[in-house]
Structure 1
Amino acid sequence: MNRSMEFNEDGVLSVDFLAGFTIFMIALIMVISLLPGILAGIESEAIDYDAVAYRTSVILVEDPGWPSNPPWNQMDEYHKADIERMGLSLSKDTPNILSQGKIDLFFNRNADFALDEDDYRSKVIFGDIPYLYNFSLRIDGEQPLFVGQEIPESSYGYQRRLVKVKEESFAHINFTDGSHPEYSSSRVVWNVTDPPHQADFAVEMDYGELYDRSISPAYRIDPRSEELGFDMENMLHSLDWNLFLNNGTMTLEKVRLYKVLDDGSSQPLPYNWNDWNNETYIFYYGNTPGSSEASVLNGSSFPKTIENETYIRMDLNPPLPFSDEMTSGLRVNFTFNYIWDGSSDPISGHRYLSGIHEYNYDSDNVVQPYLVDGVMEVAIW
């Protein structure tokens, strides 16, 4: 017994002590390893908000949203629940290049339906916490856009992203600028006993030509997802002045849409044709849109007779009829009726509108899509 005590006093540890010390060290190491995770939630709330703001900004400026074909901004109020993400980019291949149509709906500039706070939280922020938010977009030359609440003085996450906004194409058809003399004809020889003369003028889109994959989506004219518009001005001024001096008339009798096939044949669409419950087109006459003197019609309110009008505009809403069929196209056909009160020159005859304006990548025909600088700001708290 005495020998055993002497042996322990020489510095040899017992088995019980070694086992206890080992368990203590393992427990200590485990506690130390768990401390960063335990303290992360109280270490810095600003870092968490910044992470949410960054993730939200990525969704807004780099993601096209879902569904993507047709894009989510073409949904109507009855299909709003089908929208899963509200990204603003044109496509997955064009990060930081935003779609004007998606911007309009996101910032409630679209009359179809309005988004509410739950929509922004569930389709953009994707957080379990009911975050407050402020989304703003400044586009060069336009008034700033924003949705959400007023940003607090502190304790919020913030991201600022430089973006480009795609401005959509538009065709200006001016019958007096001389660039398209073939759009007015003068082959009608007239006297006071002749019946009225009827003639057509059309604007035509070839889907196969427009959807050219060699052109970047940032500059592509896409009838499936973008509004296509055109206006016609100085129609009366391009015709005979004695048409007006002698009480003659030029009357727009009807506007019809035609599906143009690859072989050149065409089929008229019904007056009430629409897709996704949106009107296919909006028709302005008398003055530019927004003017107190402008009158507005749409696909369901035609036919309507319009007499001696000198300005017409049409906005064609996406998706255009059959625009997913690359072997077809769309023709917007205007039928005018002319009555001249008095005889014409027997050689030149009276002038009237005719021809087809091609909506394509010719800059003489259409103002091409272009990019405008913008700044997207996201604040989350």
Structure 2
Amino acid sequence: MFDKKGQIAIDFLLGISLVLIALGFTIQFIPGLFISGSAGESSLDYTAYRTAAVLAEDTGWWENITMNGTDWENHPDGMLRIGLAADDEPRSRLTDTPNLISKKKTEQFLLLNESTIIEKLGLYNDVEDTHFAYGYNISILKNDRYLVLNNTTVHRGLPVPGDREMSGITRIVLIETGTVASFDAKELPVDPYSPGSENTIINITGPLNYELTIEIDNLNISGVDPSFKKLVLDGTNLNEGTDYTAYKVINGTELPLTSTGKIDSGGTVIFRMDPGLFSGSHTYQLQIDMKDITFTNTAPPIPEYSEQQEILYEPAYLEVVVWQ
């Protein structure tokens, strides 16, 4: 009789081998999520990648002896981790929306001191328990320019040198820049305070400290020269380019719209307005004057911006560059 004692099945050997390989991979790579890499180019590559991933995918975390949460922007003194990802539930350590960047977290990030940023993001290399800080440049860009939030450029760190070994990574993100309210022109009323039916009106209640965007679609073209004329706030004509910017959307693309620009049939118009116009604690009336575009509803009621508003997220680029 054939003796099978001491033999091991091939399937068992294969399974054990795969487990050992997976274990070795885990031991090798998992610690790198929490400590800086080794010196050299690979360390810079790794640090740039990790920093961008943490900022875009982590909500951050704070805690004290009694409380904790992801809303570290409201508790910077207790902040343990920096993260810019939006959080719907501050009590959770996780986010369901990676690459969706919070405006408040970004604004607080701009207020942190350099040593805190270096320490919390691991922007250093350890040599015999001594920290050697990397040079770094962290910024968010939109339309090839630094994004500006509340009159502050979203940029931390030093200018990128041209003569140093460096590594960089860019991530596409959506960043909260303000609010947007969308209106169907067929539901907007005729302005009761001006003659004709080519003007409409919207109430906006202040104070506001964020950019607001008004979108109007389904415009009713009633003549040969449909166009936008002007915006009037509480009886005062607003200035294009400083108080607001206007756009029209054609085939999904935003194009500048001036007070002499023609609006295409079925198009959408967009007005982005300076929040400084609405600094008072009262309700403002915004009159929108058109030409050869008519409104049919009767006021009251006058629509309120806040009843239609949603958080506005816009595409941007998160760029991280590190060097030594």
TM range (shorter): 0.3 to 0.5
Of structures 1 and 2, the one with the larger relative CO (CA 8 A, separation 6+) is 1
Compare CA radii of gyration and give the structure with the larger one.
1
In the superposition, the TM-score normalised over structure 1's length comes to 0.38
The structure with the largest strand share of the pair is: 2
In the superposition, the TM-score normalised over structure 2's length comes to 0.44
